[in-house]
Amino acid sequence: MKGVIFRGLESLVIEKCGMAAWESLLEKNAPDDRVYVSAKSYPDEELVGLAQDVAVALSLPLQDVLKAFGEYLFGYLLQKHPTIVDTFDGFSSLIMGIDSVIHVEVAKLYQEPNLPKIECELVREGFILMQYYSKRKLCLCAEGLVYGAAAHYSIDVTLDHVECMHQGADACVIEVRYESTNI
């Protein structure tokens, strides 16, 4: 996983729990003197370990932490790469463009990224069917990112995770229902 994602988690933890909390999480889950550089890759297990300990520190289920992290991460990535998000005129075009536009641009900026496969079908205005596949199984993070995107456009969204890789499905299927304001 790229350092930029770790830096997003770092920023969230420091904002909510302070620098000392982050330092102790890092000490436990990463090699000595670890400093995350956005463009470099680090072991996925390190991110999972950190997220698990955030969950323990806040007495929340890991699922809740991953979702909250995904939501925060959208704002963090937006601030890092505003021009990528600016190409979209609204929520549905952004969701439809995750694989074909956003992550294509990401692959130009970051060497050898490990990106999920996200296929979206606009069933009708207000309803998108999303299929998520990744060996990292970060579907809850994907949900959080979708919530973050909805917050960015100030619209309401409801997600139904009808099939999940964590329950043995080949891919996750997420039904995305949103206010269709045609902006």
Q: Site residues (CB under 6 A) for ligand HEM?
A: 1-2, 4-5, 77, 81, 84-85, 98, 102-103, 106, 110, 113-116, 118, 134, 136, 138, 141-142, 145-146, 149
Q: Where are the alpha helices (DSSP H) in 36-138?
A: 44-58, 62-80, 82-86, 91-96, 103-109
User: Which of ligand HEM, Zn ion, none does residue 172 bind to, with CB < 5 to 8 Å depending on kind?
Assistant: Zn ion
- Crossing angle of helices 139-152 and 62-80, in 10° steps, is 50
**Residue 50: closest CA among 15, 80, 112, 5:** 5
Minimum Å gap between C-beta 130 and Zn ion is 10
Q: Does 47 bind Zn ion (CB under 5 A)?
A: no
Using the rule CB under 5 A, give the single segment among 34-42, 77-85, 119-127, 136-144 that binds Zn ion: 136-144
Helix H or strand E encompassing 13: helix 3-17
- Does residue number 172 form part of the binding site for Zn ion (CB under 5 A)? yes
